[in-house]
Amino acid sequence: MRVLGLSAAALSLGLAACGDDVGEVAVKVASGFTVPSLTLGPDTFFTSESDRFKAKDDGSPTVLRQRVGPVRLQYERVNGGLVTACSFNVRTNRVVTVTLRAVGREVKCEIME
Amino acid sequence: MSTSSTKISTRSGAVNVRAWPTGRRFPSPLAFLRAVVIPMMVLAGALPALAQADPKSSAEVSGQVAELAKQRADLVARLKSLKGKIDSAGGVVTQKANAADVARETIEELRSVVSPLLAAVADNGEIAQLGVAALKNATDRRAALERDLRFTPEERQRLVAAWDARVKATTEANAELEKARAKFLALMYTLQTKEDLIGEWAAVAAQDEVINAIRELTTALNETSADVKNFIAFLEGAGS
């Protein structure tokens, strides 16, 4: 009975996650800066839904649709490890524009909501 | 001694005026008063009634009453219309004279239309995935046929060649779609990021509507005032 309850809860969470509440994240790179591979996904302890992508180097933004909620943008180190550049919130029908800049050896985000 | 009297009829009654008998000396003041002054005063009192203008005929009176009723009905209709205009102007002002609300509503309306389109043309959106799926279908089929033993080597070769052409055509179609998607994506993104500006211009346009509503209301008030004034003048002159 308990297993059935947990399954129902998991199913309802899954269905809720399939809802149409999405916003967009536009990732731009400041001129003269070549960024490594990036990942964008929900800012949760455990997630497997991150989108891996390369930012465009012509100045135009990479626009990704993203489910609403807290989101984390990460970049890949040379050794393959992921480092969080910034976290922000995605809201329904809204675009969050993130401009990435290199400050020393770190990647910094400028977020415009 | 003989006297003669003349009867004069007036609206307020009949008056007898006696003539002074001949060959008689002048009477005492009291008798003079009784014989001349009092009848004259009674006659004078009756004169205004005699001098009164001709009364209107009943047809003229009923015509005037009908005209008054018509003018009153017209006026009531105009007053009702004015009430409608006041309510309408009030509605426009209530709805449009809040610049912050107008801007916010415009932005929300824009977002609800643009955002789904932006999501569709996003780099990980439906359209981008559509091209990938189409190309994958062609390349997968081509690869499968290369090792399909149901066909002779010649048949396989022709089928693979056919799929090669389709892979190339799909790639070209995808490239065109990708260009169009990127262009539309840039436009949708610009539109979405200009939402504040669009909202502010919508608020400016709404204020113009408010100004027009106020001007129309002023005109309606002035016109109705003239109508009421004319009706009052007609009312005061009625029956004369």
Long-range contacts of B178-186 (CB under 8 A, 24+ apart): B178/B128, B178/B131, B181/B121, B181/B127, B181/B128, B182/A60, B184/B117, B184/B121, B185/A63, B185/B118, B185/B121, B185/B122, B185/B123, B186/A60
Question: Which residues share a beta bridge with A100?
Answer: A29, A109
**Are B87 and B36 found together in one domain?**
no
* Domains of chain A with CATH codes: 20-112 (2.60.40.2890)
DSSP structural state of residue A55: -
User: What is the structure's pLDDT at A58?
Assistant: 82
What's the number of domains chain B is made of?
2
A10 to chain B, closest Cα gap in Å = 26
Helix H or strand E segment including A10 = helix A2-17
Please report whether residue B54 resides in a domain: no
| Residue A65 to residue B124, Cβ atoms within 8 A | yes
SS3 A71: strand
Q: What pLDDT score was predicted for residue A13?
A: 41
**Mean pLDDT per 10-residue interval, chain B, length 240 residues:** 47 48 54 54 48 65 86 93 93 90 91 90 92 95 93 94 97 95 91 90 94 95 94 83
So what's the pLDDT on residue B235? 87
For residue B86, the one-letter residue type is I
Distant-in-sequence, close-in-space partners of B15: CB < 8 Å, separation ≥ 6: B7, B8, B39, B42, B43, B46
Same domain, B22 and B77: no
For residue A50, the chain B residue with the least C-alpha distance is B124
Interface test mutation site (partner A, options B127, B189, B191, B198, max chain A beta carbons within 10 A):
B189
Judge whether B135 lies within some domain. yes
Residue from B121, B103, B93, B118 nearest B212 by CA: B93
pLDDT of residue B35: 56
CB neighbours of residue A52 within 10 Å: 12
Size of interface A-B (CB pairs under 8 A): 44
Residue B49's pLDDT is 47
Indicate whether B118 and B208 sit together in one domain: yes
The parts of chain A modelled with pLDDT lower than 50 are: 1-18
- For tokens 């990647």, the residue is A107
**Contacts of residue B121 in chain A, CB cutoff 8 Å?**
63
| Shared domain check, B140 and B42 | no
Are B18 and B112 contained in the same domain?
Answer: no
pLDDT at A18: 46
Contact B123 A62 (CB under 8 A): yes
**B103 and B180 in one domain?**
yes
Report the candidate in B134, B161, B132, B166 with the shortest Cα–Cα distance to residue B145.
B161
By CA distance, what is A54's nearest residue in B? B123
Residues B28 and B125 in one domain: no
Q: In terms of CA atoms, which chain A residue is nearest residue B113?
A: A93
pLDDT at position A69 is: 94
Tell whether B149 and B217 lie within a shared domain.
yes
CATH of residue B199's domain is 1.10.287
Same domain, B80 and B172: yes
In 3D space, the residue among A61, A76, A75 whose CA is nearest the CA of residue A30 turns out to be: A61
ipTM above 0.90, yes or no: no
Q: Which domain, by its residues, includes B43?
A: 5-49
Instruction: Scan residues 63-102 of A and list those with Cβ closer than 8 Å to B.
Output: 63-65, 92-95, 97
Q: Pairing mode, if any, of strands A22-29 and A62-67?
A: antiparallel
Q: Which residues of B sit within 8 Å Cβ distance of A?
A: 111-112, 114-116, 118-119, 121-125, 182, 185-186, 189, 192-193
Predicted local confidence at residue B63, as pLDDT: 84
Q: How high is the pLDDT of residue B169?
A: 97
Structure tokens at B165: 């052409």
Q: Which pLDDT score is estimated for B55?
A: 62
Q: Is residue B225 part of a domain?
A: yes
**Do B44 and B76 share a structural domain?**
no
Q: What SS3 class is residue A35?
A: coil
User: Do B28 and B99 fall into the same domain?
Assistant: no
pTM for this one?
Answer: 0.64
**Phi and psi, residue A34, nearest 5°:** -100, 115
DSSP A61: P
DSSP string, chain B: ----EEEEEETTEEEEEEPPPTT-PPPPHHHHIIIIIHHHHHHHHHHHHHHPPPPPPHHHHHHHHHHHHHHHHHHHHHHHHHHHHHHHHHHHHHHHS-HHHHHHHHHHHHHHHHHHHHHHHSTTSHHHHHHHHHHHHHHHHHHHHHT-TTS-HHHHHHHHHHHHHHHHHHHHHHHHHHHHHHHHHHHHHHHHHTHHHHHHHHHHHHHHHHHHHHHHHHHHHHHHHHHHHHHHHHHHHTT-
Q: Are residues B166 and B211 in the same domain?
A: yes
Q: How far is B107 from chain A (nearest CA, A)?
A: 10
What is the pLDDT at residue B29?
Answer: 57
